[in-house]
Structure formats: structure tokens, C-alpha cells
Structure 1
Amino acid sequence: MDAIAERLARLCPQTDGDALRERAVRYGVGDELDRLRAAVLSGERGPSVAADLDALDDAFARHGIDALSTGVRDYGSLRGATPHPGVTLWGCPSPVPCPRLVPQEGAHADAAPRCGLAGTPLVSRTFRL
């Protein structure tokens, strides 16, 4: 999944209801949020989407709300340190993936489940923790 899609997936559950929209308008980034909603509906993933995500994150961070679409920030590893652990999941096979994720364990350890809409197997995705 590309970085913009990951950021949109983090933002998505936070946009349910009116609270985020009200704050976005109050913080001066209501138009950016509207453009992000339109981008999700059209499947757009260009530089303007990244710029709107950055503007939204910056405006909320100025008001003490960090990691709106970027996730929790962390420090990088020192040389010689062990890498961050990761988890591998089955994910949406679409070029513009939905946020569906299925653990690759138990019943789904050997074969990928299928996307009911596309009729194709889900794809393997690894996420750093």
C-alpha cells in the first residue's frame, strides 16, 4: 500500500460523525478535508492529496492533536539495533485498496481469502509495528 493510501486509512475512521469536520473548519482546513473526501471517492492519489493530508495534520498538530493521518511518531533505530517488528496480513487487491485486512494465521494461514467484490484473492501486506 502506498504512503497516501496508508494515511487515508488512518484518517478514515476518525472522520465518522461531525467532530473532525467541525474542528477542521475551526482550524482553517475544512476545504482540505472536503478535497480529501472527494479524492477518496474518485481514487485520486496525487501530490495534491498528500499536500491536503499534510495541511490537515499540521493544523491539528498546532492545536495539540498529533498523528491524525501519520500514525504515532517514533524514533529511528540506532546503528546495530534490531529492526521494528512487523505483522503480515491479507489485504485488499484493488489498485485503490479498501482498509480490509485479514490475519495470515489460523484458517487463512495457507491460502488467501478472496475479495467478494473483485472475485480475486487478497494480497499479502506487511506492516511495521
Structure 2
Amino acid sequence: MIIGVGIDVVDVERFGESLARTPALGARLFTESEASRPLASLAARFAAKEALAKALGAPAGMHWHDAEIVSESTGRPTFSLRGSVAARAASLGVGSVHVSLSHDAGIASAVVVLESA
């Protein structure tokens, strides 16, 4: 059963300007391994975190580092949930988190689907 769905779109150039204008923003949004990725990939990861928050019902107190996008050996992106995000997902009965990332023509996007256990 589907528990939640979220989608988000990010303008890559504008996102890059925000990161440049506010240097601490990148460290607040991304884990160390995420932060080493190119700008378009960071924008897609931010979109995924926003989409996840929407799918979870936009819980207060969500920590960005508690939702990390990691890549499987095949390159497929997945979420590693911990702390505040894992607790919210557990309280909703989430068993699987599906994520799709894309970036092209200056736009990054992500879709997240939460499925019950």
C-alpha cells in the first residue's frame, strides 16, 4: 500500500547561487559524501529530500543529514534513513522508500514513493 508520494523540482543555477551566497547551507543540507557531487547532482538530491519530506507529511524537526541519498553498486539511488526521518517513517509504517532522480536542461527533479511494510 502507498503511504505517501512527494515530488520536487529545483532550478540548478538558482540552487548553485544559493549555495554560493550561503556557504553553510551545503553543510547543513548534505552529508560529507553527498557534498562531493557535482552541482546538478546536489540539486537532484535536495529535490529528493524535499520530496521525501512531502511524502512524510512535512514533519517538524526533520534533520537533512537524517535522509542521505546513497548509490547502490548499480548506480541506483536509494535513501539511507536515520534519526528524525527514520522515526517518522517508522511511525507511518513505511517499509520501502522508492526514489527517482533526474536532471536535464538546468532542472533537477525527484519523486519519492513510500510503501508500507
Q: Same fold (TM over 0.5)?
A: no
Larger RCO (CA under 8 A, 6+ residues apart): 2
Which protein has the bigger strand share? 2
Greater radius of gyration (CA): 1
Q: TM-score scaled to structure 2, two decimals?
A: 0.28
Q: TM-score scaled to structure 1, two decimals?
A: 0.26
